[in-house]
Chains A and B, each alone.
Chain A
Amino acid sequence: NAGVTQTPKFRILKIGQSMTLQCAQDMNHNYMYWYRQDPGMGLKLIYYSVGAGITDKGEVPNGYNVSRSTTEDFPLRLELAAPSQTSVYFCASSTDRDTEAFFGQGTRLTVV
C-alpha cells in the first residue's frame, strides 16, 4: 500500500523559477494538506483541502497555489520561487478532520 506519495524528493530551483510539487494518496482520504518544515520550527500549514474541488488557505499560503481536481491528487504550485521558500515540504492526508493523519516522505526544496 503506497499511502501518500510525493515527487520529487529533492529539487534545486533558481530564484524566479516555478515548479509543481506532486502529492498523491491511494487511501481515498477526503482531507489533504501541505505543510512546510523549517529547521527549529514546527510544521506550518500552507494549504489544505476537504475534498475534490475545495481548497483553503493555511497559516503561510503566500507564494503558493493548490488545486484539487481529484480525490487522489493535491499538487502544490510555487510561482516565482524565492529563497524564503527553501524548506522541506510535506503532504498529508486523513479520512476526516478528526482522524489519523498520514504523511508523505517529503520534498526537500532549495531556492538559490
Chain B
Amino acid sequence: KQEVTQIPAALSVPEGENLVLNCSFTDSAIYNLQWFRQDPGKGLTSLLLIQSSQREQTSGRLNASLDKSSGRSTLYIAASQPGDSATYLCAVRPVTASKLTFGTGTRLQVTL
C-alpha cells in the first residue's frame, strides 16, 4: 500500500529565506507526483506536476525535484514571502490505482 509522508508538519521561517519541503513515498511505481497549495478554508491549487520520467520541474520561485528510486521529492521555495504562507501537500499517482495518494501536508508560515 502506497504511503506518503511529509516532514516537517509545520515550519516557520522569516521572509526572504529559501526553504525546502520534503515528501517521501513508499512505492516507487508511480505515474507522477503533484505538489499542491491549500490556503485555510480553500481548495487545492496545483503548483507543479512531475512525471515519473522527469527529475525536476520549475515554476517561478518554485522548484520541485523527484527521485523515484529513493521515493523522495522536495519542493524548494526561493526568497519566501508572507504570501507563501499556506499548507503544502504532495500527492503521488500510483500505476496500480486511479487515484492520488496524499500526504498530510506541511503548514508553512512566512513571517515579516
Contacts and interface: CB of A to CB of B under 8 A. Distances in A.
Interface string B75-108: 0000000000000010101000011111111000
Contacts, number: 54
Contacts of B93: 97-98
A46 B102 CA distance: 13
A31 interface: yes
Contact of B46 (A58, A100, A104): A100
Interface in A91-112: 92, 97-106, 108
A26 interface: no
Interface string A23-59: 0000000010100000011110100101000001010
Contacts of A45: 99-100
Interface residues of A, number: 24
Most B C-beta atoms less than 10 A away, residue of A43, A50, A98, A100: A43
Given A97-B93, A100-B49, A101-B34, A42 B44 contact: no
A98 B31 contact: yes
Interface of B: 4, 31-32, 34, 36, 41-46, 49, 51, 89, 91, 93, 98-105
5 contacts: A41-B104, A43-B91, A48-B98, A50-B98, A97-B98
Interface of A: 31, 33, 40-43, 45, 48, 50, 56, 58, 90, 92, 97-106, 108
